[in-house]
Structure 1
Amino acid sequence: MFWKIVGALVVAWVAIMVIGSVVGFLLKAVVWIAIIGGAVFLGTAAYGAIKGKSSPKRLP
């Protein structure tokens, strides 16, 4: 009976460690994707602002 409890605790601990590492990896991946996406967005906005100043658009 004692070894069943110890075995169950070990299996639960390993499961929590695996789930925690997967969730941690996914969170890091989402953060890096957000950082890269923000940098691309800012770069595109800056390029559009610089490019758009030479030819102003007017309403008819």
Structure 2
Amino acid sequence: MDVAAHHTRDWITMILLGVILLVIGLAVGVSLLTTIGGVLVLIGAVLWVLGATGRTIGGRKHYF
């Protein structure tokens, strides 16, 4: 498996885990799960966008 495919799975996993925790938190009414899920979705989306730009950001070529 190449490195790019592995890192792509990382942000997909983070976003999916965040969505699952967000839905469970909303269904059960546990605000901690909702907050953690929302943060994971947000961080996963930001890392996805930063990784997709292909430009060096903050001295690093890839953020994923």
TM-score of the aligned structures, taking structure 2 as reference length: 0.43
Report which structure shows greater RCO (CA 8 Å, sep ≥6): 2
Q: Which has the larger radius of gyration?
A: 1
The TM-score normalised by the length of structure 1 is 0.46
